[in-house]
């Protein structure tokens, strides 16, 4: 069902809209008017974000106008009816019944009067914000101060002494002792505002995956009339303390847990010198108005917050009740505890989830907890050392809870040892896992409550940092083989091995990634163990705990908590909101979202709306070649059994080298994994294929494994194409890697995209097996379809890096014979790709098609 097309000018679209943009805006209006749950697909490069903005903000204002008209008409009707009853009461014998009817009408009138008062308050408030926007001397001053400063999100340093430096010398020991005298004395100081939402609902909550995507969305809002008109949109972007905190003693700490706890500690401090200087109510309220008065992104707000010396984090949170458009990352919306901590009320609101193609995987990741044996061992050693040093100064209750945590850690170590004797992997549900470990009789709720209120993880981190400088290195055996006691021995052991006190979680997908991939840093291993225990007691009948055992070392063993039913974490969102919209560039097959998210939540089919549109480019601007044969007539079939075949690797290299001769400027080649890319690169180097590619005029670049190097590679890649030589470049990337999403290879940067093989996930992964079996239990073959879709969605994201606007043009080459003959794979590609496929049974035909395409351009 497609609504009638209307003029884009009605929506305040800043340019002449394409037909598909008008169709998308009409579809979104239809969804919001009729309280639908929608899946919307619009290819990347078709102005999807701008269409969403204009339709959504037009609907917000139009809906408010309709509410005002409706209230005014109802009030007029009620007044007329009350006047009529007043006249009848004076002359009728049934005046008691009439008086009762009048009372009921008067109550209704009182409700409408309150609504109209809210409209008037909002109108007056809008005028105040407009005045604030037009006369913001503070902002002008800050702009002058910062005019030479490049806008940049601050990054946190990994200075391990930050916590100790934030405390005075006299207070170090006292701040390391946990203070927990009763279950009720310490209250977690969350931001609790008494301000009620006095303005008209609904709100729109727009979320996307990364802060860069949110910033792009905000920059699109600034292009529209809604950002500067006399009826301005009230928008607020939300983020974590790590992005918004401007207090150096907090923001420079090494991870989010430490940042959050330090922030709360400064709020609660009885020492006026220790309190955060940016948490002054008057300044925060003033700054909140600055945020609401204009459309700003996180960088703008952070810079302005430094200028006015007011906390951006709490100012933006306080702005939520008055905001019409709340812009936030996935993790705030999809994690119920985080959502509640921000005070987000979704009742009768609209949620728009952009880049929703990875929504289910995001839900899995947000609610998955992975702890390693090293976390358990290090935490146990730290707690024992802490207990030994402060035993005489800790209360009985503190000692009891710390010993219970120590008991849990010892039981986890026993569990690793027991499992390693039987099998390398083990899967249990949460309840069976707790029974097998022997912690089912402990009150984990009270233990976690103690951890939260006493902040024992923070104290433990400070304890180890404070004592590290006194330790001399000495040679010792591995921790899990030889028990050690005492802080000095533990710290010496860590230092002797060249390891940081901070516990680090390393990507263990392969050896190369361990050496090159960036690592997460935890302030204390107890933080991640707390999260794991909290997940265990969460009511989720379809959660699993996977134990991976390393028979040689407990340190390398791990536990992973995973969920199998992502829909449960959308339940409150679907039930509370009037509309939920999932949109993205590659959303098909729609059935996956309907079967795995909406149907299990009981969403009726007549409430589900789907919309898909083509691309804005003409047919002549894209050719998709499905190629199953190389230049030496060897079949290109990258199944798991063939992927290490040297003849296939050589044939692939010859294929890519030949394509370099006909595809100008920038060419991006995607491989299924980093291992795959490394293998092909090394073989091509030995065979001289890399020199052949360079002789064709292409400078070769590879996607780095560290995110910090991405911008440098992209800059050099761009320079090789548009620089003085202008020969062009070949960029070797990874499907699902750092350059397969969110990177814009428009025009000369991406005249060609090559995809080598099909990036199927490892089907032997126990985690993936559990998910496939779970979905198959719901619907026959549903798990296998889920497995296929994981692969094709990754391919679709990669090939979407090219063709970013109407006049863009490119060639897409899919290297694998399965792209030619497997119908399910063809159907899994976006319509705008599959409708332009040329199936080539020989290499000459493919090369000729690509050559002819660029000759015509």
70-98 pLDDT, tens digit each = 999 999 999 999 998 888 888 888 888 88
Low-confidence winner among 169-183, 256-270, 541-555, 748-762 (lowest mean pLDDT):
169-183
Torsion from C-alpha of 180, 182, 188, 194, nearest 10 degrees:
-150
Could you give the CA distance from residue 12 to residue 161 in angstroms, rounded to a whole number?
53
Instruction: Please tell me which residue, 468 or 22, carries the higher pLDDT value.
Output: 22
Read off the pLDDT of residues 735-744 as tens digits, 9 standing for 90 and up: 999 888 878 8
Q: Please, what sign has the CA dihedral across residues 801, 805, 808, 812? A: positive
Q: What is the mean pLDDT of the chain?
A: 83
What pLDDT score does 134 carry?
A: 77
What are the pLDDT digits (tens) for 649-694? 999 999 999 999 999 999 999 999 999 999 999 999 999 999 999 9
Whether 338 has a pLDDT exceeding 70, the answer reads yes
CA gap 691, 449 in Å, rounded: 62
Please list the helix, strand and coil fractions of the chain in percent, rounded to the nearest 5, in that order: 55, 10, 35
Q: What is the pLDDT of residue 369?
A: 93
pTM of the model: 0.83
Please name every residue paired with 581 in a beta bridge, in sequence order, or none if there are none: 38, 352
Phi/psi for 322 (5° steps) reads -95, -10
Query: Given this model, what pLDDT does residue 182 score?
Result: 45
pLDDT per position as a tens digit, 452-485: 889 898 888 888 776 654 443 333 333 344 444 4
Of 141 and 512, the one with more pLDDT: 141
pLDDT (0 to 100) of residue 566: 87
Average pLDDT over residues 233-246: 93
Q: Whole-angstrom Cα distance, residue 640 to residue 209?
A: 31
The HSE-up count of residue 160 (CA atoms within 13 Å, CB side) is 17
* Average pLDDT of the segment spanning 370-384: 93
What pLDDT sits at residue 312? Answer: 95
Backbone angles phi, psi at 148, to 5 degrees: -95, 5
Q: Report the DSSP beta bridge partners of residue 700.
A: 730
Stretch 788-814: mean pLDDT: 91
pLDDT given for residue 556 in this prediction: 92
User: Does position 199 have pLDDT exceeding 70, yes or no?
Assistant: no
What pLDDT score does 2 carry?
A: 41
pLDDT per residue over 583-635, tens digit each?
998 888 898 899 989 999 999 999 999 999 888 889 899 999 999 999 999 99
Following CA atoms 824, 826, 829, 830 in sequence, which dihedral angle do they give, to the nearest 10 degrees? -110
- Residues 242-260 have a mean pLDDT of 88
Q: Is the pLDDT of residue 3 over 90?
A: no
Structure tokens, 352:
């728009």
Mean pLDDT of 195-200: 48
Q: Would you say residue 500 has pLDDT above 60?
A: no
pLDDT at position 539, please? 67
| pLDDT in the model for residue 467 | 63
Percent of the chain at pLDDT exceeding 90: 53
List of residues 6+ apart from 413 with CB closer than 8 A: 373, 376, 377, 380, 480, 554
> CA–CA separation, 176 vs 170, rounded Å?
12
Question: What is residue 670's three-state secondary structure?
Answer: strand
Residues 583/48, Cβ–Cβ less than 8 Å: yes
Please spell the DSSP secondary structure of 343-404, one letter per residue.
T---TT-EEEESSGGGHHHHHHHHT-EEEEHHHHHHHHHHHHHHHHHHGGGS-HHHHHHHHH
Q: 45-54, pLDDT tens digit by residue?
A: 788 999 999 9
What DSSP string describes 614-638? Answer: --SS-GGGEEEEEE-B-TTS-B---
In this prediction, residue 395 carries a pLDDT of 92
In the predicted model, what is the mean pLDDT of residues 19-28? 94
Q: What is the pLDDT of residue 434?
A: 94
Do 75 and 31 form a contact (C-beta atoms < 8 A)? no
User: Where does the pLDDT of residue 579 fall: very low under 50, low under 70, confident under 90, or very high at 90 and above?
Assistant: very high
Mean pLDDT of the 290-312 span: 92
> Which contiguous run of DSSP H or E holds residue 508?
none
The Cα 280–Cα 726 span in angstroms is 56
Confidence of residue 211 (pLDDT cuts 50, 70, 90): confident
pLDDT at 503: 30
Nearest alpha carbon to residue 637 among 760, 757, 755: 757
């Amino acid at each position: 069902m497609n609504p009638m097309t209307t003029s884009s000018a009605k929506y305040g679209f800043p340019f002449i809209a394409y037909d598909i943009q008008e169709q998308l805006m009409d579809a979104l209006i239809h969804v919001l008017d009729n309280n639908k749950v929608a899946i919307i697909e619009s290819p990347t490069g078709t102005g999807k974000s701008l269409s969403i903005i204009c339709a959504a903000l037009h609907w917000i204002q139009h809906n408010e106008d309709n509410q005002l008209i409706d209230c005014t008409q109802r009030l007029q009707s009620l007044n007329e009816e009350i006047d009529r009853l007043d006249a009848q009461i004076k002359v009728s014998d049934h005046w008691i019944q009439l008086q009762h009817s009048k009372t009921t009408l008067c109550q209704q009138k009182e409700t409408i009067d309150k609504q109209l008062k809210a409209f008037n308050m909002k109108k007056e408030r809008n005028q105040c914000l407009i005045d604030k926007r037009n006369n913001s001397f503070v902002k002008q001053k800050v702009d002058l101060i910062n005019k030479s400063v490049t806008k940049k999100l601050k990054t946190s340093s990994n200075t391990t002494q930050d916590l100790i430096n934030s405390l005075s010398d006299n207070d170090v020991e006292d701040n390391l002792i946990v203070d927990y005298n009763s279950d009720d004395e310490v209250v977690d100081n969350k931001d609790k505002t008494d301000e009620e939402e006095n303005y008209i609902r609904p709100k729109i909550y727009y979320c996307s995956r990364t802060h860069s995507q949110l910033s792009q969305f905000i920059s699109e809002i600034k292009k529209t009339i809604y950002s500067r008109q006399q009826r301005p949109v009230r928008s607020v972007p939300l983020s974590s303390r790590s992005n918004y905190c401007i207090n150096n003693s907090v923001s420079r700490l090494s991870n989010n847990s430490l940042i959050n706890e330090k922030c709360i500690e400064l709020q609660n401090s009885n020492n006026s010198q220790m309190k955060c200087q940016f948490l002054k109510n008057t300044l925060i309220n003033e700054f909140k108005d600055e945020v609401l008065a204009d459309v700003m992104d996180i960088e703008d707000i952070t810079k302005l917050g430094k200028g006015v010396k007011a906390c951006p984090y709490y100012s933006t949170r306080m702005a939520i009740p008055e905001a019409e458009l709340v812009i936030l990352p996935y993790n705030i919306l999809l994690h119920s505890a985080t959502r509640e901590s921000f005070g987000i009320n979704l009742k009768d609101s609209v949620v728009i989830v952009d880049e929703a193609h990875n929504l289910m995987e995001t839900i899995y990741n947000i609610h998955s907890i992975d702890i390693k044996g090293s976390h358990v061992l290090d935490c146990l050693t730290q707690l024992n050392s802490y207990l030994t040093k402060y035993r005489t100064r800790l209360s009985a209750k503190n000692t009891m809870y710390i010993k219970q945590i120590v008991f849990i850690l010892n039981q986890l170590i026993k569990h690793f040892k027991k499992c390693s004797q039987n099998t390398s992997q083990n899967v249990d549900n949460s309840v069976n896992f707790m029974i097998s470990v022997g912690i089912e009789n402990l009150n984990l709720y009270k233990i976690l409550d103690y951890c939260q209120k006493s902040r024992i993880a923070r104290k433990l981190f400070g304890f180890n940092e404070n004592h590290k400088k006194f330790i001399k290195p000495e040679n010792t055996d591995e921790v899990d083989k030889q028990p050690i006691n005492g802080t000095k021995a533990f710290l010496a052991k860590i230092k002797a091995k060249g390891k940081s006190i901070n516990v680090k979680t390393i990507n263990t997908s392969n050896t190369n990634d361990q050496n090159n991939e960036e690592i997460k840093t935890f302030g204390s291993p107890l933080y991640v163990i707390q999260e794991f225990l909290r997940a265990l007691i969460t009511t989720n009948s379809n959660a699993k705990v996977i134990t991976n055992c390393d028979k040689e070392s407990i340190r390398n063993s791990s536990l992973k908590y995973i969920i199998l039913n992502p829909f449960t974490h959308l339940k409150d969102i679907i039930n509370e909101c009037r509309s939920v919209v999932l949109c993205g560039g590659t959303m098909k097959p729609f059935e996956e979202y309907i079967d795995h998210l909406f149907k299990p939540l009981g969403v009726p089919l007549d409430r589900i709306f789907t919309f898909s549109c083509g691309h804005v480019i003409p047919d002549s601007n894209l050719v998709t070649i499905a190629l199953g044969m190389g230049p030496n007539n060897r079949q290109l079939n990258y199944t798991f059994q063939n992927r290490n075949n040297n003849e296939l690797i050589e044939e692939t290299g010859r294929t890519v080298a030949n394509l370099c001769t006909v595809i100008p400027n920038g060419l991006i080649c995607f491989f299924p994994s980093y291992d795959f890319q490394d293998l092909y690169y090394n073989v091509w180097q030995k065979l001289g294929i890399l020199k052949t590619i360079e002789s064709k005029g292409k400078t070769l670049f590879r996607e780095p494994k560290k995110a910090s190097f991405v911008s440098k590679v992209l800059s050099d890649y761009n320079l090789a194409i548009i620089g003085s030589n202008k020969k062009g470049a070949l960029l070797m990337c990874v499907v699902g890697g750092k350059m397969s999403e969110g990177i814009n290879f428009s025009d000369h940067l991406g005249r060609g995209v090559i995809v080598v093989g099909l990036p199927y996930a490892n089907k032997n992964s126990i985690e993936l097996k559990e998910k496939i079996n779970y979905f198959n239990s719901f619907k026959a073959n549903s798990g296998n379809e889920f497995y296929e879709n994981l692969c094709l969605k990754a391919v679709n994201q990669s090939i979407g890096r090219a063709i970013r606007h109407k006049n863009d043009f490119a060639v897409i080459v899919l290297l694998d014979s399965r792209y030619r003959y497997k119908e399910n794979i063809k159907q899994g590609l976006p319509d705008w790709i599959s409708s332009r496929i040329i199936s080539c049974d020989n290499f000459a035909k493919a090369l000729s098609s690509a050559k002819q395409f660029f000759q015509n351009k």
